[in-house]
Structure 1
Amino acid sequence: MASSLQAAPAFVQLAAHPVRWRLLTLLAAGDHRVRELVELVGQPQNLVSYHLRLLRGGGLVTARRSTFDARDSYYHLDLERCAQELADTGAVLHPALRLDPAPPSPPSSAAHAGRPVVLFTCTGNSARSPIAEALLRHHAGGRVEVTSAGSHPRPRLHPYAVHLLRERHGIDLIDQRPRHVDTMAGRRFDYVISLCDKVREVCPDIGGHPRRLHWSIPDPATPSRTEGAGSPAFARTMEEIDTRIRYLLPVLTPQEVSS
């Protein structure tokens, strides 16, 4: 009697291919354009594009047009979807192998020697980068030193950003003002994370050889054809940044998160 064979879960089939696994690991760190992925993977562009289409079809990867050059697209790994797929895959093999997300480590108000230093950048330093700065400081609880700056800072923070941070997280930025990236000269950073496509291209190099990551997040203050630039756009932007921050924190403080 022939035995019935059960196909491996879709996540396993997608992730098991060496090229797709390499793409997933690269996108887990930050967003990339196709030509950058081609260079990093070392495979022809048509092959990389083919595997990206499969990952997009599986819901693991999304693409977003560059707000700096609309001919380009940035690819982004949906970490929340990956976490759920991994949990479901474990449960398929055995119920006891479901991988539930680890609870967040409790914040600490104590200063930590040698804590990582992070700089968030965007163009105006009025919404995305100060939101990221505030949320990382909030979630890290003193374990990370963080600031933000812009290539062309606005006169003040956007009122929607200030309002939503206070309403949803109890964070008060009423007295904070946008900063210019030039004011960061001479400071040491372990990570420099750009949140808009334009600043990624025009931001000057930061000394000290920090690790540079990119999060391609549209400006919520700029209306698009599909949504306005009001409070809902800011709320969606804040949710996306908050998700990325939560997955960044274990990378920044792996020992403390695991302890």
Structure 2
Amino acid sequence: MVSSPTPAFVRLAAHPIRWRLLTELATGDHRVRELVDLVAEPQNLVSYHLRELRRGGLVTARRSTFDARDSYYHLDLERCAAALADTGALLHPALRLSPLPPPSSAASVRPPVVLFACTGNSARSPIAEALLRHHAAGLAEAASAGSHPRERLHPDAVRVLRERHGIDVSDQRPRHLDSLAGRRFDYVISLCDKVREVCPSFGPRSRTVHWSIPDPAAPGSSASGGSGAGRDEEARHLAFDRVVAEIDIRIRHLLPVLTSQEVSS
């Protein structure tokens, strides 16, 4: 009897340190020094196992826009889901994972409330707010704000939400984080490396999470070569499309977490 090779996901995840790193990154993006504290292991060991997880395609790294000497590590939950499904099927066809069932309205005493924050509150955070409302269908509430809000939403944020998801946010206006002082949020999610450093506290009951997502409106954020207004506009449109797709994936993985936890009123 010839045994089949151990699936790559099992080999990667089975190591105790790598499993702890995966567990921490499943909740949000982290810098190396934060992961060192969270798993209580030396930095050289943490860095080695992060390299292994990156080599296996489960973890990606993105340079911080606040401090270019730092990088944020992110767990690719979509790839993990596919790897887990394939691993189960290799053991027995009946063990192939099925998609999560729709969340139940009885999962919480009241809908959890999530605040999304970025610097200008003109692109990333209102996109996340709109997508959570869209996918939650009343099972979670969402708000967004910025540390230095712009005068209006970025037109490409309005465009891509309308084109890809049928969501109209054209009447929404950016607002300052200070305008939400005193409100209670179950989750405060920063989508910008800069705002993470200055986001005010919303109380001990608010769980803080960081998603390190590049600003699609930043000059040169997705430059693909060439020059000229037409080329710049096309690159910006592609940058917004990619960011909305990434935020949508993160929102869809966040929703089961929100609706599976009891929230006291």
**The two structures share one fold, judged by TM-score above 0.5:** yes
Runs (5+) with no aligned partner, structure 1? none
**Deviation for aligned residue 1:152:** 0.3
1:10 maps to which residue?
8
**Deviation for aligned residue 1:254:** 1.4
State yes or no: 1:200 paired with 2:192.
Answer: no
TM-score normalised according to structure 1 size? 0.92
Q: C-alpha root-mean-square deviation of aligned residues, in Å? A: 1.8
Q: Choose from 45, 59, 72 the match for 2:43.
A: 45
2:253 maps to which residue?
247
Q: 2:207 is aligned with what amino acid? A: R
Q: Distance in 1 between matches of 2:10 and 2:204?
A: 39
Q: Cα 1:163–1:143, aligned 2, differ >3 Å: closer, same or farther? A: same
Q: Choose from 15, 22, 25 the match for 1:24.
A: 22
Q: 1:83 is aligned with what amino acid? A: A
Q: How many residues align?
A: 251
1:116 maps to which residue?
112
The Cα offsets for residues 140-167 of structure 1, whole Å up to 9 and x where unpaired, read as 0011111000000000000000111111
Runs (5+) with no aligned partner, structure 2? 224-231
Q: Distance in 1 between matches of 2:186 and 2:3?
A: 49
**Deviation for aligned residue 1:113:** 5.1
The Cα offsets for residues 6-46 of structure 1, whole Å up to 9 and x where unpaired, read as 32101001001110000001000000000000000000000
Q: Distance in 1 between matches of 2:260 and 2:56?
A: 29
Structure showing greater relative contact order (alpha-carbon pairs closer than 8 Å, 6 or more residues apart): 2
Q: Cα 1:93–1:113, aligned 2, differ >3 Å: closer, same or farther? A: closer
**Deviation for aligned residue 1:203:** 1.4
1:36 maps to which residue?
34
C-alpha contact 2:214 2:221 (8 A) present in aligned 1: no
Q: 1:23 is aligned with what amino acid? A: L
**Deviation for aligned residue 1:209:** 3.2
C-alpha contact 1:189 1:208 (8 A) present in aligned 2: no
Q: Stretches of 4+ moved more than 6 A in 1?
A: none
**Deviation for aligned residue 1:95:** 1.2
Correspondences of 1:66-215 after superposition (within 5 Å): 66-105=64-103, 114-215=110-211
The Cα offsets for residues 160-180 of structure 1, whole Å up to 9 and x where unpaired, read as 001111111111111110010
**SS of equivalent residue, structure 2 residue 117:** strand
**SS of equivalent residue, structure 1 residue 202:** coil
- Aligned residues with identical type, % of pairs: 75
Q: 1:144 is aligned with what amino acid? A: A
**Deviation for aligned residue 1:104:** 4.0
C-alpha contact 1:194 1:200 (8 A) present in aligned 2: yes
TM-score normalised according to structure 2 size? 0.90
